[in-house]
Each structure stands twice: as structure tokens, then as C-alpha cells.
């Protein structure tokens, strides 16, 4: 049997062919008018994609580089910051803030859950200078309430800047940075924007830019103010990942085309796509008797599933790979063996989703221990559940309307 390799991983995600062609053709120097035209176009597109009037800074690094920049640029040693965490990426904020000498308060929820806003309110102090959180926690498949946290900071009249790692949130969940009052929104290239790893971007509010005038943690390569100055001239401070930037331009063109030429509408379509296929996947695995790891606040970016009691999730990961070349992910860190994760962000469609569900049924059928642990297994159970979800799905008018308003406001 031919087995086409397919990624179902929450970064890197499948590549858009048009972006691959653009990358292969990007034989240009970065201090030329050609590059400046490309860079300015992509920065303008990114702003529309993020849905913000704020400047967007593009950096040649993985997502964590932009996370680090939003700690090193926005804090000084000894600053009190609040981290909201419920997984591996939340823990990364804590580690980063500690590395830069911050005093870190933490609101923690168990893996698979989201934190309570009451606890956030209680942990917020007058001196809190920054709040760090994820929009979606990729290690557990949870969606957090960014708007809830933003509202809470507003009502508490907090001075804190709100920094959101939306690396898997952008393009999978509705975020209105400007209206909600998010100060920094971080994205990464290998997630919903369908290109390889290596670029990160941040939208930065006026309040956050002002904050940077007074903070003094060390920074050099990741100096956001320097990048902003250079971006105004159509350049980056150092040699940028030129090919990835060309790929990003092509990918944003594609996303705009999905929205009839409008990037805000295209992003809303991308969110709707992830919402639909993640709902199909949740219905499919539940119909097979699996338990969802995050049933209360599931992210559309990635679905985390528990293996049957006493079984190692690695069996499913391994069988999907060896039999069908379908690459899903195991649990991260100490969750390895206890979870398997299937991504829905970016360049995935209905057929990808149906195929993977069919392959999962084959894996269960052919693995006696799995079939025994999922009583009542029958071919088609998961597929039927997913088909019903798809057929019953109405386009999410609310999200589309919100995107349209944003597009109008941005004009």
C-alpha cells in the first residue's frame, strides 16, 4: 500500500503548496527594494490577519523567541508578574519570567482544565506589571478565556500589560485584540499559517510600547523597539528568514482568498474550519469510547484524547504512523503515554479529518488490546458520528460578523 505522510501535529502543521513554491523562488537579498516591498506587504497582511491596528513585529525564531521577547522587553528585574498556567506552555512563561528575574505569581489549573477567573482576580496585585497566558494550551488541548481575563484586568483598573501566547490560538479561536485590550499577541509560523517553523510574530499595543521605554531587562537580538524602527523602513534589524517571509505572504494570500479577498474574513473562515473539524474529531473519538482530556473547555486547535485505562497512548501514535504514515503526537513531558493529540490548525480539511478517523478505526480493529478496551467497537461508529457533526454544522455567523466589523473598523 502507498502511504502518504500526513502531519496531524500541532506544529509543524501541513504546508500549503503555494507557500512552498514561494519559498523555493525567494532568491532575493534582504537589503533591496524587492525585499522591502515583500516585507512591507507581509507586515501589513499580518496586521489584518491578527485583526489589530497595532504594529506587528516579525522575527526569525520559533514561537518561544517571541515569548522571550515579550518578557525581556516588558519587564525589569524584580517586577511582579502573574502567570496563568495549565500546561507545558504556561509553565514556559513561568520559566521565562524567572530567567529574567521577575517575581512570579502563578495561578495554576490542573492539566486538562482552565483556570478560574476568581482565582485570577484574587492573585492580581496592585504591583502586577504583566499577566502572561495562552489562548490555547497546546499540551492539553484546552482553550482559555482571554476575553474574561482582559475584562477582569480592565475592571480592576490594573496597570498590568496582558500578554497572550496565541501561537495555536490565532486561526483557531476568535480573538479581538484591540477591543478586548490585549497588549501583546504572539503567533508562530508553523501553526495556523501553514508554513514551516522559523518565524514568530507579535502584535504590540501602545501601552506595551510605552512600557518598553522604562523597562531594563537585557535584550539584544530580541529588541522589539529596534525591530519596529527597522520595519518602518521596510527592513529587519538582522538577516531575516527571507524564504519563510515569502512563504508567509503566499499563505496569507491564500487565507485572504478563503475570505473572498479579505484577511479578517479569511481568518474567521480558518477559525470556523478548525471549529468544525475539531467538533468532528471529538464526536468521533467519543463514539469509539475514548475520553476527551479537556471536555469542559476544548480548544479547536488540537484535541487531546486519553487512551483506554491501563494502555499507553504511544500504541495509537505508533500504529497510525507505521500503518498509515499519519503523524499525530503523544502527550508532552510527563503526559507522554497518557494522551494522544490530533491537530486541526491550518491547512486541514474535511477529507483529512475523515481519513484520519477511518485510519483510527482500522488501528483499533487491528489492535486486540485496544478493541477489547473499547467494547462495542464496530467499523463506522466514529465516521458516522463525525459525518453527523459535519452535516449539522451551520456556518458560524457570529464569528463571521465579528470579523466583518473588525475589517470595517480597520479601514
User: Min. distance of Cβ 165 from ligand PLP in angstroms?
Assistant: 5
Min CB(124)–ligand PLP separation in Å = 22
Asked whether position 62 contacts ligand PLP by CB under 6 A, the answer is yes
Rounded Cα–Cα distance for residues 363 and 12 (Å): 24
What do you get for the CA distance between the two ends of the chain, in Å? 52
298 binds ligand PLP (CB under 6 A): no
> Minimal distance in Å, beta carbon 189 to ligand PLP?
8
CB nearer to ligand PLP: give 73 or 168.
168
User: Look-up: residue for cell 500578554?
Assistant: 163
Minimum gap (Å) between residue 301 Cβ and ligand PLP: 8
Q: Does 63 sit near ligand PLP (CB under 6 A)?
A: yes
* CB of 11 vs ligand PLP, minimal distance in Å: 4
String marking each residue 72-101 x if it binds ligand PLP according to CB under 6 A: -----------------x------------
Instruction: Give the binding range for ligand PLP (CB under 6 A) out of 62-70, 241-249, 290-298, 378-386.
Output: 62-70
For the bound state, the minimum distance from the C-beta of residue 77 to ligand PLP, rounded and expressed in Å, comes to 24
- 167 part of the interface to ligand PLP, by CB under 6 A: yes
What separation in angstroms does the CA of 140 have from each of 310, 334, 389?
19, 12, 23
Q: Is residue 258 close enough to count as binding ligand PLP by CB under 6 A?
A: no
Site for ligand PLP (CB under 6 A): how many residues? 13
SS3 assignment, position 160: coil
Residue 64 contacts ligand PLP per CB under 6 A: yes
- Considering only 105, 165, 176, 262, the residue that binds ligand PLP (CB under 6 A) is 165
Q: How many CB atoms lie within 10 A of CB 217?
A: 16
266 lies in the binding site for ligand PLP (CB under 6 A) = no
Count of residues for the chain?
Answer: 411
Q: Which is nearer to ligand PLP, 106 or 400 (CB)?
A: 106
Please report whether residue 138 would count as binding ligand PLP according to CB under 6 A.
yes
Q: What b/e sequence results for 301-339 when a residue is b if at least 16 CB atoms lie within 10 Å of its CB, and e otherwise?
A: bbbbbbbbeebebebbbebbeeebebbbbbbbeebeebb
Residue of this chain nearest to ligand PLP (CB atom): 63
Asked whether 196 and 80 are in contact (CB, 8 A), the reply is no
- Using the rule CB under 6 A, give the single segment among 37-45, 60-68, 77-85, 249-257 that binds ligand PLP: 60-68
Q: Specify the residue, 224 or 287, whose C-beta has the smaller distance to ligand PLP.
A: 224
Q: Is 380 left (phi over 0), alpha (psi -120 to 50) or beta?
A: left
Q: Of 218, 240, 237, whose CA–CA distance to 229 is shortest?
A: 237
Contact residues for 39 (Cβ-Cβ < 8 A; gap 6+): 58, 231, 234, 235, 236, 240, 245
Residues from 195 through 214 that contact ligand PLP (CB under 6 A): 197
Nearest-angstrom CA–CA distance, 332 and 341:
9
Q: By C-beta, is 11 or 112 nearer to ligand PLP?
A: 11
CA gap 185, 204 in Å, rounded: 7
Which range, of 56-64, 149-157, 355-363, 384-392, touches ligand PLP by CB under 6 A?
A: 56-64
Tell which residue, 313, 315, 307, has the closest CA to residue 337.
Answer: 313
For residue 221, with 0-12 CB atoms within 10 Å meaning exposed, 13-18 middle and 19 or more buried, which class applies?
A: middle
Report residue 10 CA to chain centroid gap.
Answer: 8
Rule CB under 6 A: say whether 335 interacts with ligand PLP: no
Q: What does the binding site for ligand PLP look like in residue numbers (CB under 6 A)?
A: 10-11, 62-64, 89, 134, 138, 165, 167-168, 188, 197
Amino acid at each position: 500500500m502507498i502511504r502518504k505522510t500526513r502531519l496531524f501535529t500541532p506544529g509543524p502543521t501541513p504546508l500549503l503548496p503555494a507557500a512552498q513554491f514561494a519559498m523555493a523562488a525567494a532568491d532575493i537579498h534582504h537589503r533591496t527594494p524587492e525585499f522591502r516591498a515583500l516585507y512591507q506587504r507581509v507586515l501589513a497582511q499580518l496586521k489584518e490577519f491578527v485583526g489589530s491596528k497595532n504594529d506587528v513585529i516579525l522575527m526569525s525564531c520559533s514561537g518561544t523567541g517571541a515569548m522571550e521577547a515579550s518578557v525581556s522587553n516588558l519587564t525589569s528585574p524584580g517586577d511582579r508578574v502573574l502567570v496563568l498556567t495549565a500546561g507545558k506552555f504556561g509553565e514556559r512563561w513561568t520559566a521565562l519570567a524567572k530567567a529574567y528575574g521577575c517575581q512570579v505569581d502563578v495561578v495554576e489549573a490542573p492539566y486538562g482544565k482552565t483556570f478560574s477567573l476568581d482565582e485570577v482576580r484574587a492573585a492580581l496585585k496592585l504591583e502586577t506589571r504583566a499577566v502572561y497566558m495562552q489562548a490555547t494550551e497546546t499540551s492539553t488541548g484546552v482553550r482559555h478565556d482571554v476575553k474574561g481575563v482582559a475584562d477582569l484586568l480592565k475592571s480592576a483598573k490594573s496597570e498590568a500589560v496582558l500578554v497572550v501566547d496565541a501561537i495555536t490560538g490565532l486561526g483557531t479561536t476568535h480573538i479581538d485584540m484591540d477591543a478586548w485590550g490585549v497588549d501583546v499577541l504572539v503567533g508562530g509560523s508553523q501553526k495556523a499559517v501553514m508554513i514551516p517553523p522559523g518565524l514568530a510574530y507579535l502584535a504590540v499595543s501602545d501601552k506595551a510600547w510605552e512600557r518598553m521605554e522604562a523597562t531594563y531587562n537585557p535584550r539584544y537580538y530580541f529588541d522589539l523597539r529596534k525591530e519596529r524602527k527597522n520595519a518602518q523602513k521596510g527592513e529587519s534589524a538582522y538577516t531575516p528568514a527571507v524564504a519563510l517571509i515569502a512563504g508567509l505572504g503566499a499563505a496569507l494570500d491564500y487565507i485572504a482568498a478563503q475570505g473572498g479577498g479579505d484577511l479578517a474574513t479569511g481568518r474567521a473562515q480558518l477559525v470556523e474550519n478548525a471549529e468544525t473539524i475539531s467538533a468532528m474529531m471529538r464526536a468521533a473519538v467519543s463514539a469509539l469510547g475514548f475520553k476527551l482530556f479537556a471536555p469542559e473547555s476544548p480548544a479547536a486547535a488540537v484535541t487531546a484524547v486519553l487512551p483506554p485505562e491501563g494502555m499507553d497512548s504511544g500504541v495509537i501514535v505508533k500504529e497510525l504512523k507505521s500503518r498509515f504514515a499519519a503523524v499525530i503526537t503523544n502527550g508532552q513531558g510527563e503526559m507522554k503515554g497518557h494522551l494522544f493529540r490530533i491537530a486541526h490548525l491550518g491547512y486541514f480539511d474535511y477529507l483529512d479529518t475523515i481519513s484520519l478517523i477511518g485510519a483510527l478505526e482500522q488501528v483499533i480493529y487491528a489492535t486486540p488490546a485496544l478493541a477489547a478496551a473499547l467494547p462495542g467497537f464496530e467499523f463506522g461508529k466514529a465516521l458516522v458520528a463525525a459525518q453527523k457533526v459535519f452535516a449539522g454544522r451551520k456556518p458560524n455567523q457570529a464569528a463571521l460578523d465579528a470579523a466583518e466589523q473588525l475589517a470595517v473598523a480597520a479601514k
